Amino acid sequence: MEEGKKEWFNQSVGEVKRKFQVEEEQGLSEKQIVENRQIYGLNELAAKKKKSLFIKFLEQFKDFMIIILIIAAIISGVVGAYEGEGITDSIIILIVVIVNAIIGVAQESKAEKSLEALQKLSSHVVKVVRNRKCNSSTF
């Protein structure tokens, strides 16, 4: 962040009015609204691009403990094969890691769906002053 530049939520009402060249009683004119939309865009949160299930699955393996378990499975398999004891322990560890990843993806997907449903249920009502008239808008 540049020196002396505040985030919008840290600015006083006076600073915001000066920045947008607006009087509180008058509000923004249609011309100012069009100009501000061209400069700043619509007053919307940017939607994140959804990740595929495969990417979500792969991301489950980024956790430090999961990496340790995978390394342990590899070492156990190499030692077991070298000593003739088999690789049963390695297979069990890898199955547990894969089942954990599947459960993690399922929980993440359910959480995202719940959040989307909550966002659809909530509507926001705001009061704005436009051309000296107070309006209510729902978005």
Q: What is the pLDDT of residues 60-69, one digit of tens each?
A: 999 999 999 9
Mean pLDDT value across residues 4-12: 75
Q: How far apart are CA 20 and CA 108, in angstroms?
A: 41
Alpha-carbon distance values, 93 to 52, 67, 76, 98, 107 (Å) = 26, 12, 9, 9, 21
The yes-or-no verdict on residue 114 having pLDDT over 70 is yes
Answer yes or no: pTM beyond 0.75.
no
Pick 25 or 72 by higher pLDDT.
72
Q: How far apart are CA 86 and CA 4, in angstroms?
A: 65
pLDDT band at 106 (very low <50, low <70, confident <90, very high): very high
